[in-house]
Amino acid sequence: MAFEVPKSFYYIAGGVSIALAIFLGRIAGAHRENPEALRQGVAITLIDSSWSERSSKPGKVALVPTLTFKIRNTREAPLEYVQVNAVFSFVGSKDSFGDAFAYPIQGKQLKTGEQTDAIRVKSNHGYQATSRKSFVNNPDFKPAEVSVFVQSRLSGWVLVGKFPISSKIDGMPQQLILPLKARLSS
């Protein structure tokens, strides 16, 4: 003879499942970072940018935009597990040409008023030429900028700033910078 399960069992099991789902959802939501609080609680400081060498082969040099910065915690609560996504694009373009990720705050807390060590991010794409000096005379060289996004505790990516990439090339004399035309075009 087969065992029959009373209909009330299914109602009780369904109710328990719904209650468990709600409970687990609230626990997960309790650890969710408020995106606006994160945006207001993160300050980008000590900003420096340049074009640096990504790779060099005989007769070929690749320069990529680079951003160096620090994150300062400006809110009352500590920052934990912060990730950075730097998205590089040409000025005036909606499309990106490269990005870089960094994990400056992991496994420790950044207390109120404290700041990270310097964080340096390099785009994974840039310009190629035969030498560093050939970049200086390149009329097609376009100015670039970087949008810095941060994420913490399931907040989703939050834009915290957009910064221009300077026209200086690492390792080149200061007077040899990118063409004025390229720096001023938009």
**Mean pLDDT value across residues 129-133:** 78
In this structure, is residue 28 part of a structural domain? Answer: no
In this structure, is residue 19 part of a structural domain? Answer: no
Separation of alpha carbons 182 and 168, rounded Å: 12
Lowest mean pLDDT among 71-85, 89-103, 166-180: 166-180
pLDDT digits (tens, 9 = 90+) for 146-172: 999 999 877 889 999 999 998 888 877
Is the pLDDT reported for residue 41 higher than 70? Answer: yes
In this structure, is residue 160 part of a structural domain? Answer: yes
In this structure, is residue 63 part of a structural domain? Answer: yes
In this structure, is residue 17 part of a structural domain? Answer: no
Determine the pLDDT at residue 16. 64
Is the pLDDT reported for residue 108 higher than 70? Answer: yes
**Mean pLDDT value across residues 5-24:** 64
SS (H, E, C) the chain: CCCCCCHHHHHHHHHHHHHHHHHHHHHHHHCCCCHHHHHHHEEEEEEEEEEEEEEEECCEEEEEEEEEEEEEECCCCCEEEEEEEEEEEECCCCCEEEEEEEEEEEEEEECCCCECCCEEEECCCCEEECCCHHHHCCCCCCCEEEEEEEEECCCCCEEEEEEECCCCECCCCCCCCCCHHHHHCC
Total tally of structural domains belonging to the chain = 1
- The model's confidence at residue 181, banded by pLDDT at 50, 70 and 90, is very low
Determine the pLDDT at residue 73. 94
In this structure, is residue 115 part of a structural domain? Answer: yes
In this structure, is residue 23 part of a structural domain? Answer: no
Is the pLDDT reported for residue 180 higher than 60? Answer: no
Mean pLDDT of the chain: 81
Provide the CATH number for the domain around residue 109: 2.60.40.10
In this structure, is residue 172 part of a structural domain? Answer: yes
Determine the pLDDT at residue 54. 83
List the domain range (segments joined by +) for residue 124. Answer: 33-184
Q: pTM for this one?
A: 0.75
**Mean pLDDT value across residues 68-78:** 93
